[in-house]
Structure 1
Amino acid sequence: PKFPGVRGIDGSGDFTGGLLEQALKVGGGDPKAMTAADIDKAIDVVRKLGPDTIYWKTGAESQQLAESGEADMLMMWTGRAMTAVKNGAKYAPAWQDWLVVMDQMTIPVGVKDTDAAYALLNAYLGKQSQEVLTQTTSYTPINNEAQPKVDASVAAFLTNTPDRQSQGYKQNIKFWVENFQAAQEKWSAMMAGN
């Protein structure tokens, strides 16, 4: 590998589209123009990382790998990475081609109290709630009015600076929706040693 050393990557169950897209890029492919054949190419790149790869199963395990120094580089959530660094881990974030992760909150059809459901969403998305969330996790607020007061150790992991935003990318969701089953089967086979 271009960057030798022990890697820690997500092996928590389902494949991670972003990881396979990064692997495809290493092999010269384009995640925006993926085909089903590219799944095999990407998995082959991951497989070639070999025995110097630790597949963590939980966020807590990824943080433990960072804090122990067992892995030279880790693909992990910014909140866990920030906490590990605050606990003494000697890592810094690398922002080139970082994966923009999107979550969603929904109100189920037929919920008994829609007003309460909307109130919960509004409270979560409110300025103060988003500030507290960022101050305690390093996850960037999505409320544009939120101005969390954070120290340098937290700011190092926030994703909303113009420079960091310009280096991130969103995974090819349409491709993964259409190819989820095939990718999952191939990822599971690799994780099982096949």
Structure 2
Amino acid sequence: MNSRLTLTLAATLLASTAMAQENELTVASWGGSFQEAESKALFEPAAEAMGIDLTQETYSGMSDVRLQVQTGQVTFDLVASGTGSAARAGAEGLLEPIDYDVVDVSHFLEGTYSDYCVGSDVFSTTYAWNTDTYGEDGPDSWADFWDVEKFPGSRAYRGNSVAGALEPALMADGVAPEDVYSVLDSEEGIERAIDKIRELKPHIEVFWSSGAQQAQLMKDGEVDMTTGWNGRFDTAARDGGKVAYSFNQGLADVDCFAIPKGAPHKDLAMKFLAEISKPEYQDDLPKYITYGPTNTLAYETGEISPEVAAMLPSSPENAAKQLPISLEWYIKWETTANEMYQEMLTE
């Protein structure tokens, strides 16, 4: 009798443990103010609504996913990613395909979802300037950013990646936004963009490598202008930085969520992804960082005021001013372009 009772209790304990594990998820993102915003707007409320025990981690990107998948020790259920990185990781077999019978993207902006990732927010790579140096009427184009006579002063530019670095250079060189990716579709076009950056290089004091760094440069007044991400500049301004920026000729880009191949709770992760993609979560993200929702219904809930919408990259008015990033170009050319770009930086 005692042995039977012991076996029954053990089986019950195992079943309870299994059920508990089925309600656990591990989400990885990039940390800092960005993950804090995701946590408050998306992760924590969705986990509470679904009754999930959620663990959040910070990670370095798809290289961490690759290591987990290759070693068969996958611990992440959902990861934040750039769309280009997710597309390459998906092609490499590192990600689970998104089940669009579960995740509803019927009201998502065009181009903000793909086979292996679902867009979480829209951000803009743009130019920012020190208002103590130039006042509120700073540069209004990439040509202005390059014009060191009209706008004398120091610059900062992206140095750790070609992402968002070549397109501004071509627009500064007179290429119309709609023609940028056609010109970049060759090594000659890539070299043209790099030559334009080489022209500005004597005035670039810092080649930045992170969002935190670009914001800190402006907050500290270390440079007069920099490229970077709009949400980081808004954070710097809230922290007392003398910084302004423009969406004109900005590069509209998308962060997304992906599920690693072999995720321990793949089905639950897909349901969680469906939950955080709903407008009632996405409309809260701008409360914490000025990145725009990918679900257009988020603009109809009443949570995003016209004043806040005016600051978001995905609002109709701001989206019309920008060049959407070409995922296809990055899949085809990013590796080659990065090698060429890094060679120029070490000259």
Provide the residue aligned with 2:337 in structure 1: 183
Runs of at least 4 residues off by over 4 Å: 149-152
The number of residue pairs the alignment matches comes to 190
In structure 2, relative to structure 1, the CA distance for the partners of 1:131 and 1:173 (3 Å cut) is closer
* TM-score, normalised relative to structure 1: 0.85
Following superposition, the deviation at residue 126 of structure 1 comes to 2.6
Cα distance in 2 for partners of 1:150, 1:70 equals: 33
Cα distance in 2 for partners of 1:63, 1:76 equals: 8
Instruction: Kindly indicate whether residue 197 of structure 2 is the aligned counterpart of residue 51 of structure 1.
Output: no
Q: 5+ unaligned residues in a row in structure 2: which ranges?
A: 1-145
Aligned identity (percent) is: 31
* TM-score, normalised relative to structure 2: 0.50
Q: Which of the two has greater strand per residue?
A: 2
Question: Are the aligned partners of 1:10 and 1:55 in contact in 2 as well (CA < 8 Å)?
Answer: yes
Paired residues for 1:36-75 under 5 Å: 36-53=187-204, 54-75=206-227
Provide the residue aligned with 1:14 in structure 2: 161
Cα distance in 2 for partners of 1:70, 1:82 equals: 17
Question: Are the aligned partners of 2:215 and 2:233 in contact in 1 as well (CA < 8 Å)?
Answer: yes
Question: Are the aligned partners of 1:43 and 1:187 in contact in 2 as well (CA < 8 Å)?
Answer: yes
Bigger shift: 2-11 or 94-103?
2-11
- Residues 36-79 of structure 1 show CA distances to partners (whole Å, capped at 9, x for unaligned) of 20111111111111232121122111111111122222211122
**Superposed CA RMSD:** 2.2
Q: 5+ unaligned residues in a row in structure 1: which ranges?
A: none
Following superposition, the deviation at residue 187 of structure 1 comes to 1.0
Cα distance in 2 for partners of 1:180, 1:160 equals: 24
Paired residues for 1:45-194 under 5 Å: 45-53=196-204, 54-146=206-298, 147-149=302-304, 155=309, 157-192=311-346, 194=347
Partner SS state of residue 186, structure 1:
helix
Partner SS state of residue 138, structure 1:
coil
Provide the residue aligned with 1:4 in structure 2: 152
Instruction: Kindly indicate whether residue 174 of structure 2 is the aligned counterpart of residue 23 of structure 1.
Output: no
In structure 2, relative to structure 1, the CA distance for the partners of 1:174 and 1:160 (3 Å cut) is closer
Following superposition, the deviation at residue 158 of structure 1 comes to 1.0
Question: Are the aligned partners of 1:31 and 1:171 in contact in 2 as well (CA < 8 Å)?
Answer: no
Q: Greater Rg, structure 1 or structure 2?
A: 2
Question: Are the aligned partners of 2:219 and 2:243 in contact in 1 as well (CA < 8 Å)?
Answer: no
In structure 2, relative to structure 1, the CA distance for the partners of 1:149 and 1:124 (3 Å cut) is same
In structure 2, relative to structure 1, the CA distance for the partners of 1:190 and 1:23 (3 Å cut) is same
